[in-house]
A and B are shown apart, each in its own frame.
Chain A
């Protein structure tokens, strides 16, 4: 037993330092897990990693056919790029959340036998999704250049800022989902509907001009972290005008969600094995 009291701030800080040190010493493990999962997926399906790109792409095509016709005249000229950028960004978050929960739920053997910071598994899941996301950005330009004439530009450098913010947000969300879905498996059944709803609430399919019809709608929509993150991505990918407030609120959301999610997950992870 330590001399400091269990609830003391000094004690908690020391525990946190030890946790972070352990986590850092396992960085190669996180990388190998992520790379291994991608390799395994490439080995077991013919299209492998390409499915990561293909899923949001096919879904985007469906929405393009349905909503593209529906919105008709109000559709922006660069709708293909608009839709795809949103789809890929959203898919990264979606994959991180489901991948994070599954990395805990499906690794019972690993968790029961070996002691290591459990965040390693979540980080590996997010790395895996990030690799898929990187591939999808290439596909984005492969489609956006011929259809909408959108080329990478100096603004694309904003990716270096927004991707880390997005990764932090996704890691926080993965931790939150893992935290609740381990004791309540029901959550994993519920999750697809929740993320689908979130997708519809985010400016992925519908054009931003939709918000002009109602001030309340415009005000409420901005409280969605995805709204802000996607706005920064569209600056980077499509050269939309830069909005500093979108960047600031993205970062604030990401830090907040990450701190909350990882705190809830880390304080819980010692009890994980009991529920698996």
Chain B
């Protein structure tokens, strides 16, 4: 079960301070603040798929990082129950110079598995990614589809309770896409939770039960995915009418 209570923060992105600017300013803090997420609260339950939509810069990826626990909000907090697997970017922890085999271990260990646990799922990961013999070749020799399949396969085999996905439903070719959707459905069936960000509105509406529309860090609307997607679409078609 994932339950998120008030993910809110104000002075969010500070510009990278350089020594020169800091000296020029006489202090270390940049004052100009950007509020990437402004008082966002929502709850996602077990066995539920939750979609997040919105224009570029709405705060979707920031929200995912908060849920993943890599970014601490300035105010509020995110609470997750169970093992979280993040597929926000593909191939996190991978080293392209190394073989696929080694990268499965790197990716799995990076995500928090023990080596023993990676040993157990290793064959399944390779089988699922349809890589077979290529697993011992350096990852830099892989096609982008092979790379994506391996990365996705590692993420799915972490056996997560919560899966965070950021715009990677379009992984691989048609048959692999079908397979990945099946895997996500399986996760939901065993009461896992999926939160995902996508610009593919049709797919999102079809896959998710509920959705949230973010704009400039604020929740515009939250509810059944079809309604939210339809409202988001009409706001794009008729800008200014909804506000």
Contacts and interface: CB of A to CB of B under 8 A. Distances in A.
Interface of B is mostly: loop
A28 B102 CA distance: 13
A186 B70 contact: no
Contacts of A37: 95
Interface stretch (A54-62, A112-120, A223-231, A244-252): A112-120
A36 interface: yes
Interface stretch (A69-77, A156-164, A203-211, A268-276): A268-276
A114 B98 contact: no
Given A44-B97, A273-B70, A113 B89 contact: yes
Nearest to B91: A109
Given A36-B106, A116-B110, A274-B14, A111 B95 contact: no
Interface string B95-113: 1011000100110011110
Nearest to A30: B109
Interface string B68-110: 1111100000000000001011011101011000100110011
B55 interface: no
25 contacts: A25-B114, A32-B102, A36-B98, A39-B97, A39-B102, A43-B138, A44-B97, A109-B91, A109-B92, A110-B110, A113-B86, A114-B70, A114-B110, A115-B69, A183-B16, A183-B17, A183-B28, A184-B17, A184-B18, A185-B16, A186-B19, A186-B20, A187-B19, A274-B14, A275-B14
Nearest to A184: B19
Contacts of B92: 109-110, 113-114
Interface in B1-53: 13-14, 16-20, 22, 28
Contacts, number: 85
B216 interface: no
Contacts of B111: 114
A62 B18 CA distance: 36
B18 A114 contact: no
A151 interface: no
A113 B70 contact: yes
A274 B71 contact: yes
Interface in B118-168: 138
A187 B98 CA distance: 30
A33 interface: yes
A114 B109 contact: no
Contact of B72 (A40, A111, A270): A270
B115 interface: yes
A108 B221 CA distance: 32
A29 interface: yes
A184 B97 CA distance: 29
A125 B157 CA distance: 28
Given A39-B97, A113-B92, A273-B65, 4 more contacts: A40-B98, A114-B92, A114-B112, A184-B17
